Structures are given as C-alpha cells and as structure tokens.
Amino acid sequence: MSMLKQGFRRDRLQSDKKVKAHVKAFYKIMDDMQKLADSVDLSIDYNEDNINDYLDYRDLDPMEKFLVLGKINDRKNGKSNNS
C-alpha cells in the first residue's frame, strides 16, 4: 500500500473513531434524560421555567430540557418509552 493511501486510511479511521465517540456520548445523554423523565412525578405540570426546581440531578441546558419535557409528555399521554 502506498504511503498516500496509508495516510488516507489513517485519517478515515481517526474520523470514524471521533464519530463513534460522539454517537456514544449522544446515546448516554439520551439515556440520562430517559432516567430523569422516568423518575419525576407526573402529577406536577413541568415547563421550561420550573423543571430545574424539581430535579436534584443538575441544571439542564435548553436541549436537555426539551428532551426531558418531551419524554414526560409522552409518559403522561401513555406513549411507549422507545418511540
């Protein structure tokens, strides 16, 4: 294999490793948000302004709030956790 092809192969493998790490981190965040949504009391009305007051876990950034509120809404409406 020529030196040029070896360099391209190494670059592609490094890029694939970075993508794999990003995907793995994304699914870890999704799993954390699912656990949070499963642990909250459904009788309370949550919104973007008060969700951090009810969670002892940590302060959520806007995207995490969006994910958790969506999962809570799905639980209230009886939708499956996997959809």
> What pLDDT digit, counting tens, does each position of 44-75 carry?
898 888 888 888 767 888 888 899 999 999 98
Going through 1-83 in order, the beta strands assigned E by DSSP cover none
Q: For residue 3, which amino acid is it?
A: M
Please check whether residue 4 lies inside any domain of the structure.
no
Kindly state whether residue 60 falls inside one of the protein's structural domains. yes
Q: 2 lies in a domain?
A: no
37 located within any domain: yes
Does the residue 36 lie in any domain? yes
- For residue 64, give its domain range: 24-83
DSSP assignment of 42-56: TTS---TTTHHHH-S
- At residue 1, the pLDDT reads 65
Q: Could you report the per-residue pLDDT of 16-34, keeping only the tens digit for each? A: 999 999 999 999 999 998 9
Its pTM stands at: 0.70
Q: Count of domains in the chain?
A: 1
